[in-house]
Amino acid sequence: MKLKRALLSIVLAFSTAGVLATNIDAKAYEEVYEQQDHQEQQINKTLNSEFISADDHALLANELERIQEAEQTETRRNLEAMINTEEKLLAEVRTRLDAKEAEVAESELEKLADDLAVLDQKKEEPFIVTKDIQDIETLTNKLAGLSSSKRVEPIRVIAVEVSRLTAQISENQTELVHLVEALKEDNQLAEELLKDTYVLAVDKELLQNDGKQNEQFFEDADDLAVVVSRQEDSEALIARLQNKRKIIEIDFQKNESQSNELLASVNSLISTGDLTTEENSSLKEARQTLADALEMKDYKPGDLGKKHTVLQNEYEELLEKSTQRIADAKAEAEQEAAEKPAAKEQEKQQSSSSSSNSGSSTPSATVSNGWHQAPEGYKYLRIDSGKTYGQVKNPGNYKLITIQEAANYSPGHGNGSAKQ
């Protein structure tokens, strides 16, 4: 312990000389005390060493206490002699302490080498991160530089790094294994989706490609970030396609049966209905669009319901038109049947009139598939309705008039017995 001393105010009494200390003596005492203070610090440091023996600890502690007590009573020369003795004792203890530390260092170095050898074997296992392997090699190189170390501190620094790396390798390996297990589970879910009828062909191709990417990590992986990214992407794809599949399933459960019924009705209308060429073509196109949706061709979730609605609206509109035309044709046929005797009489009159008129003649109609095409420059006039037509099936029910005369009437809509 360093004592506070006011050297210039101390009067030293010596029993042998009986004189007062001079300023020179005070200076000398101050140097002695400072030497002891420094040496005391070294002794305390040595006393705190883990490598000091119990005997050496007792020797130094007793010596330190002895000098501290003598500082108040002994002469400078006696103090110097005691400090020198203490210094020699300290040197002897330090020699034994260094030997003990070297012994411990050798033992700990041997254990460190064994621990690092275990890590070196660990890097041969699957699912070891590349960065961890590089760290093992770095520590191996550091250990090689400590082969003759007599101090424990540098050995223990590396030992801490080895311990940390051991835990890190185990943690990273465990995480990689868990991630790969998750990838395997994703592939199992993908297999189920591949067998599902509500999963689109394009999505099945995505699942197959995703599964192949997952499989490359099943046996080994060495980059945690890459596997984490792969698993996140795979999981997101599975979730997205599962949700998409559910939407498609709902679409088909709601619309598949009624779509098939609608197609049957459309087929019947096309076969037996009275449609124009344009109407027939448009209805067939809408029919094909719905049929494709049923087979999930160029299909998007919800398409079946949308295509069904489009075809249903067009079907209803054309069915109404066809029904009206058929009814009109039927009514016209009935009317024609009722007016047939009068028409024959009119025809006779027209024939007689034509024969008597030697200055003019009417061209003959052209007949094709039962339809009589009015000669060029003429139209057929339905007298009772005032409607004109270009083609009729029963010309006897109509009057043949010139185009100039037809301008006084309105064109009739097509039906089963007359059309433009």
pTM (predicted TM-score):
0.62
The arrangement of strands across the sheet holding 378-382 comes to 399-402, 378-382, 387-389, 410-411
Contact 275/283 with Cβ under 8 angstroms? yes
Beta bridge partners of 373: 366, 391
Q: What is the pLDDT of residues 259-313, one digit of tens each?
A: 999 999 999 999 999 999 999 999 999 999 999 999 999 999 999 999 999 999 9
Q: What is the pLDDT of residues 345-374, one digit of tens each?
A: 555 555 544 444 444 566 788 888 888 999
Q: Where are the domains of the chain?
A: 7-98, 103-179, 363-419
3-state DSSP assignment of residue 333:
helix
Distance CA(342)–CA(337), nearest Å, equals 10
Contact 139/162 with Cβ under 8 angstroms? yes
Distance CA(47)–CA(58), nearest Å, equals 9
pLDDT of residue 341: 62
Could you tell me the CA-to-CA distances from 265 to 175, 235, 271, 338, 409 in Å, in that order?
60, 44, 10, 35, 38
Among 284, 289, 288, 293, which Cα is nearest to 252's? 293
Q: Please give the CATH number for the structural domain made up of 7-98.
A: 1.20.1270
Q: What is the pLDDT of residues 17-75, one digit of tens each?
A: 344 445 556 666 677 667 777 888 888 998 999 999 999 999 988 888 887 777 677 67
3-state DSSP assignment of residue 362:
coil
Contact 310/259 with Cβ under 8 angstroms? no
The arrangement of strands across the sheet holding 371-373 comes to 366-368, 371-373, 391-392, 418-419
The yes-or-no verdict on residue 328 having pLDDT over 90 is no
Residue 154 burial (10 A CB sphere; 0-12, 13-18, 19+): middle
The yes-or-no verdict on residue 83 having pLDDT over 60 is yes
Q: What is the mean pLDDT of residues 242-263?
A: 97
Q: What is the pLDDT of residues 147-193, one digit of tens each?
A: 778 899 999 999 999 999 999 999 999 999 999 999 999 999 999 99
3-state DSSP assignment of residue 273:
coil
